[in-house]
């Protein structure tokens, strides 16, 4: 098969790596890809938000299947666009991608189908929102409705902070805002539960916990994710039944009752308290860096699974996992998530040996004049799978020390809740 993966992050490199192992693969393209994907696929420098260009390329090169990595093209309707051209594509359509594209869309489903989630209010004016906040219990959570690259969520400790959040959102910090969401603050521990769906059947695609804050001990600014581990230690069969029966099934029922169906990954972001799940968010794709953490544990052919989703026969597949503990540490450019330098060379990467249980997935990198340059905030993902999380973390840290990239920094405490 000829496959194209859209995206340029660590998630897409991890997917490309898994797919490159498939006996079914004839040719792999990454659009646009990164330095890492260029070693296992052909990178094609196109803008994934320019659907016409993508469509033309896919038709010209007779690509059999397109896999969409990130959320923006999904929310903007790339699946609908390609399906109209009779192109096979893995990912949810525009309507159901609203599960990530609009937090209010999701909350309304939660309300109608009785899905456990934080209590909330939808406000369509600054004055109404502030009026409500004046007598609200703190901390409280203020959220922009649409996609905001993880930045549209404010956890507010006091009235002043919450008012500022409301002002910023209505002043258009994340695009034109006609309404916003105010939510009760949920206590507990976060866990991500992944689902693979072919529109008729769904299956669990493992669990993970990530570390969103930039600083050790989970302090400081929010980032795209500084590291993750899989599986989560919170999952157990009782909790899984609740997640499926109280959250996943009612959501797919809601989608079916809208006359829609869901194909692709569904990322179920949860808060777990006393073994009870509460929905925090849906994402309509794999997580990053959760994907880099989960895929090395997969003991089935990834391409076959993706294909079975597009062909609606996921029920025939058995998803197998290695019984190991996976941990990913993200090496970032100094300054991230604020400003950082670009085009800084990463030397000696070719000298780091990736044994069978060690993986380096690239994120913000490119190749120029045979040199690997860092061009993004999150640069490299060091993943290790082993018998326990501590060994996996030590091994990932060793590789980062071996590389000794002077412009980089990373969190040494990934997995601290279960290791230290
Ligand atoms: P979201 O984009 O909705 O997932 O929010 C980003 C992050 O903010 C989540 O991963 C949580 O860490 C945090 N968060 C969001 N909503 C809540 C809530 N109601 N209570 C506590 N933390 C929350
Ligand atoms: N790591 C969080 C996300 O992918 O949304």
Whether 310 and 364 map to the same domain: the answer is: no
The verdict on residue 146 lying in a domain is: yes
Is residue 114 in a domain? no
The continuous run of DSSP H or E covering 384 comes out as strand 378-386
Instruction: Find the 385 Cα to ligand 2 centroid distance in Å.
Output: 20
Ligand 1 atom with minimal separation from the 185 CA: 20
Name all residues whose Cβ lies below 6 A of ligand 2: 210, 225, 283, 287-288, 290
Coil, helix or strand at residue 134: helix
Least distant ligand from the CA of 174:
1
Ligand nearest to the backbone CA of 11: 2
Check which CATH number belongs to the domain holding 129 and give it: 3.30.1490.20
90-149 confidence digits (pLDDT tens): 999 999 999 999 999 999 999 999 999 999 999 999 889 888 888 888 999 999 898 887
Ligand 2 test: best mutation among 149, 207, 225, most atoms within 8 Å of CB? Answer: 225
Structure confidence at residue 151 (pLDDT): 77
For residue 260, how far is its CA from the centre of ligand 2 (angstroms)? 25
Question: What's the pLDDT at 278?
Answer: 98
Q: Whose CA is nearest to atom 4 of ligand 2?
A: 287
pLDDT band at 197 (very low <50, low <70, confident <90, very high): very high
Distance of CA 156 to the CA centre of its chain: 24
Which ligand 2 atom lies nearest to the CA of residue 291? 4
Residue 119 lies inside a defined structural domain of this protein = no
Closest ligand, as measured to the CA of 153 = 1
Task: Check whether residue 350 and residue 395 sit in a common domain.
Answer: yes
Over residues 275-296, the mean pLDDT reads: 97
Q: Minimum-distance ligand to the CA of 294?
A: 2
Whole-number Å distance, alpha carbon 14 to ligand 2 midpoint, is 15
Q: Which ligand is nearest to the CA of 150?
A: 1
Q: How far is the CA of 396 from the centre of ligand 1 (A)?
A: 28
Residue 324, CA distances (Å) to 13, 21, 230 in order: 21, 20, 9
Ligand 2 centroid, distance to 281 Cα (angstroms): 10
Residue of 10, 210, 232 best suited for mutating to test ligand 2, as the one with most atoms within 8 Å of CB: 210
Average the pLDDT over each of 41-50, 161-170, 191-200, 350-359 and give the range with the smallest value.
350-359
Q: Look at the block and give the residue holding tokens 């840290």.
A: 397
Atom of ligand 2 nearest to the CA of 290: 1
Could you say which ligand is closest to the alpha carbon of residue 286? 2
- Whether residue 117 is contained in a domain is answered as no
Give the model's pLDDT for residue 350. Answer: 86
Residues 360-378 have pLDDT tens digits of 999 999 999 999 999 999 9
Query: What are residue 198's phi and psi, to 5 degrees?
Result: -105, 15
Q: What is the pLDDT of residue 42?
A: 98
Residue 306 and residue 193 share a domain? yes
Taking CA atoms only, the protein residue closest to ligand 1 atom 8 is 153
DSSP-assigned letters across all residues of 141-182: EEEESS--TT-SEEEESSHHHHHHHHHHHHTTBTB--S-EEE
71 and 152 housed in the same domain: no
pLDDT digits (tens, 9 = 90+) for 52-89: 999 999 999 999 999 999 999 999 999 999 999 999 99
* Confidence category of residue 351, pLDDT binned at 50, 70, 90: confident
CATH of the domain at 259: 3.30.470.20
Whether residue 104 is contained in a domain is answered as no
Q: Does residue 108 lie in a domain region?
A: no
* Residue 379: CB atoms within 10 Å: 28
For residues 83 and 166, state if they share a domain: no
Residue with the larger pLDDT of the pair 264 and 150: 264
What's residue 291's pLDDT?
A: 98
Asked whether residue 111 is assigned to any structural domain, the reply reads no
Q: Is residue 106 part of a domain?
A: no
Q: Which two tokens stand for residue 402?
A: 């071996």
Are residues 196 and 312 located together in one domain of the fold? yes
Residue nearest to atom 3 of ligand 1 (CA): 281
Average pLDDT over residues 289-309: 98
| Residue 50: CATH number of its domain | 3.40.50.20
The Cβ-side half-sphere exposure at 240, using a 13 Å CA radius, reads 14
Higher pLDDT, 407 or 150: 407
Confidence (pLDDT) at 319: 98
> Do 346 and 412 belong to one domain?
yes
- Whether residue 299 sits in one domain with residue 208: yes
pLDDT of residue 89: 98
Residue 62: predicted pLDDT:
97
Using left for φ > 0, alpha for ψ between -120 and 50, and beta otherwise, residue 114 falls in: left
Atom of ligand 2 nearest to the CA of 288: 4
Question: What's residue 50's pLDDT?
Answer: 98
The ligand with the least distance to the CA atom of 152 is 1
How far away, in angstroms, is 391 Cα from ligand 2 center? Answer: 24
Same-domain check for residues 259 and 285: yes
| Ligand 2: centre distance to CA 151 (Å) | 12
Half-sphere exposure in the Cβ direction for 410 (13 Å, CA):
26
Q: Measuring from each residue's beta carbon to the nearest atom of ligand 1, which residues come in under 6 Å?
A: 118, 141, 153, 155, 183, 185-186, 190, 212, 269, 280-281
pLDDT tens across 133-180, in order? 888 889 999 998 988 877 788 899 999 989 999 999 999 898 888 899
In a 10 Å sphere around its CB, with 0-12 CB exposed, 13-18 middle and 19+ buried, how is residue 171 labelled? exposed
- Of 118, 151, 222, 280, which is best to mutate to test ligand 1, by the most ligand atoms within 8 angstroms of its C-beta? 280
Q: Which tens digits make up the pLDDT trace of 206-233?
A: 999 999 999 999 999 889 899 999 999 9
Chosen domain end from 268, 289, 316: 316
Percent of the chain with pLDDT over 90: 88
Share of the chain above pLDDT 70, in %: 100
What pLDDT, on a 0 to 100 scale, did the predictor assign at position 126?
87
Looking at the structure of the chain, the number of domains it has is: 4
pLDDT band of residue 352 (cuts 50, 70, 90) is confident
User: Residue 327 C-alpha to ligand 1 middle, in angstroms?
Assistant: 22
The pLDDT, as a whole number, for residue 261 is 97
As given in the structure block, the two tokens for residue 82 are: 């390609």
Which residue has a Cα nearest atom 3 of ligand 2? 287
Task: Among 133, 152, 178, give the residue marking a domain's end.
Answer: 178
- Looking at residues 237-261, what average pLDDT do you find? 98
Predicted confidence (pLDDT) at residue 274 exceeds the cutoff of 80: yes
Instruction: List phi, psi (to 5°) of 369.
Output: 50, 45
* CATH number of domain containing 382: 3.90.600.10
| 114, 143, 178 - which closes a domain | 178
pLDDT at residue 172, rounded to an integer? 87
Distance 350 CA to ligand 1 centre (A): 38
CA 224–ligand 2 middle distance (angstroms):
6
Q: How far is the CA of 135 from the centre of ligand 2 (A)?
A: 32
Same domain, 171 and 203: no
List the domain range (segments joined by +) for residue 141.
125-178
Considering the domain architecture, whether residues 168 and 232 belong to the same structural domain is answered as no
Q: What is residue 301's predicted lDDT score, i.e. its pLDDT?
A: 98
* Cβ contact 310:24 at 8 Å: no
Please check whether residues 204 and 309 belong to one and the same domain: yes
User: Do you know the residue count of the chain?
Assistant: 420
């Amino acid at each position: 098969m000829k496959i194209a993966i859209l995206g340029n992050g660590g998630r897409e490199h991890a997917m490309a790596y898994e797919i490159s192992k498939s006996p079914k693969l004839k040719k792999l393209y990454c659009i646009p890809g990164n330095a890492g994907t260029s070693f296992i696929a052909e990178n094609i420098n196109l803008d994934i938000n320019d659907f016409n260009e993508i469509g033309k390329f896919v038709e010209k090169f007779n690509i059999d299947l397109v896999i969409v990595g990130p959320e923006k093209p999904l929310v903007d309707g790339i699946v609908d666009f390609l399906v109209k051209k009779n192109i096979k594509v893995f990912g949810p359509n525009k309507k159901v991608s609203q599960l990530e594209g609009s937090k209010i869309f999701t909350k309304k489903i939660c309300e109608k189908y009785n899905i456990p989630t934080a209590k909330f209010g939808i406000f369509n004016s600054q004055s109404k929102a502030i009026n409500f906040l004046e007598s609200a219990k703190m901390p409280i959570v203020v959220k922009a409705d649409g996609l905001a690259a993880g930045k549209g969520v404010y956890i507010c400790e006091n009235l002043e902070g919450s008012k500022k959040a409301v002002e910023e959102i209505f002043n258009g910090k994340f695009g034109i805002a006609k309404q916003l969401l105010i939510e009760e603050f949920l206590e507990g521990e976060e866990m991500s539960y992944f689902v693979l769906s072919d529109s008729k059947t769904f299956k669990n695609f493992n669990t993970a916990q990530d570390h969103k804050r930039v600083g050790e001990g989970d302090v400081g600014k929010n980032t795209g994710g500084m590291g993750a581990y899989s599986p989560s230690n919170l999952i157990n069969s009782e909790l899984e039944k609740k997640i499926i029966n109280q959250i996943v099934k009612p959501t797919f029922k809601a989608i079916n009752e809208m006359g829609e169906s869901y194909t692709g990954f569904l990322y179920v972001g949860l808060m777990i308290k006393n073994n009870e799940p509460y929905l925090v968010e849906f994402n309509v794709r794999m997580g990053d860096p959760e994907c880099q953490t989960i895929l090395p544990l997969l003991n089935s052919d990834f391409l076959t699974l993706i294909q079975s989703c597009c062909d609606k026969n996921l029920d025939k597949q058995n998803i197998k996992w290695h019984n190991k503990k996976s941990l990913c540490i993200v090496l970032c450019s100094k300054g991230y998530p604020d400003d950082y330098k670009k085009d800084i060379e990463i030397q000696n990467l070719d000298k780091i040996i990736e044994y069978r249980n060690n993986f380096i997935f690239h994120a913000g990198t490119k190749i120029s004049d045979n040199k690997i340059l860092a061009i993004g905030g999150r640069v490299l993902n060091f993943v290790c799978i082993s018998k326990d999380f501590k060994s996996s973390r030590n091994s990932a840290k060793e590789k980062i020390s071996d590389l000794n990239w002077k412009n980089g920094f990373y969190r040494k405490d990934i997995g601290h809740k279960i290791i230290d």
